[in-house]
Structure 1
Amino acid sequence: MFSTITSDDNLLVQQFINGDQSAIETLVGRHQHRVFTYIVLIVKNQQLAEDIFQDTFIKVIRSLKTGKYTENGKFVSWVLRIAHNLIIDHFRKEKLQNTTSNEDSEYDLFNSPRFSDENIEDQLVFEQIRSDIRRLIDELPDDQRQVIIMRHYLGLSFKEIAERTDVSINTALGRMRYALINLRKIIEKNNLILTKI
């Protein structure tokens, strides 16, 4: 059945390329539900999906007319790839349009320490903060210190931590929770400031 539809699609593509307009209508009718469902599942917006669906078949028709269809086989896979590329293009454009504008703000956003290069002073402060945190971690009980080091310094997941320490994931999560609570208590007790001013 599937191979019959595929060979049927190829025949309709050839008929359309040779000037039969009804062939493209048959192809669109045959695959519109699948293509539209694919688009709407990704974009999650009916109106946008309709626009992209329309653009997809406009591009399909142009590509067929200019001889850019070279798929010897699955027409619908080719159409879905075109739809997918148009979806990506849409989200790229949307992302570019949502960039921050300096004109809408009361103060100069780009003259902010967050956007400036770090100088030597910032690097020294950061190193000091890192050193202070490392000393605080050393004050924690062994099991809590171990989970903090494995998670934040070695980048292990809680599943990996649980396996390496031979405990359940819940126990590893619990140790992390208590470690953070204890770190907060130590910081408050010593009146430490661990941020750049």
Structure 2
Amino acid sequence: MNVQVLSDQVLLNHYLSGDRSAISKLIERHSRRVKDYIHMMVKDCDVADDIFQETFIKAVRVIDEGRYTDNGKFLSWILRIAHNQVIDHFRAQRQNKSVSEAEAGYDVLGTLKLSERTVEDSMVCEQIERDVRALVELLPSEQREVVIMRYFSGLSFKEIAEQTDVSINTALGRMRYALINLRRMIKEKNLILS
């Protein structure tokens, strides 16, 4: 039987029935797209290869545990796992180093335009960074994803739309609502971000 005409679900069924080579064929089918996505996000070949391996290890584990439910969108599902692995990578990096203003996303709110920093300024900036990151984590998942992809990963709205499988207008709308929600939360919590 020709592997190219087998659907992802058929290959998954073959794998679950004991054909261990079927998962290799499935991974091979989608490897280029997943690798390209990861590399575009992390911009480092070695890190991208590690995340790629972690992505498919996690996917196989979920499949083996019977937690994968096919909805005809295996590629979207595997890209979502890859995206989460990339976010985990950036979180781990963030914990190991300080974050610059641009990476922290201060441009989201159009504040903090300091030319020289004193010790006090640095302490204030660190607090603002923690506050902004905490607020971003409170956003609905679709809005949080767009903010992270735009301001922490530096993707264009076109790239965000392609990666999340939505239109550019939807990505822009999610960003708009994210900014509205961030401003509302800042006002409700009486935060001063300057």
TM (norm. structure 1) is 0.47
Asked which structure has the greater RCO (Cα within 8 Å, sep 6+), the reply is 2
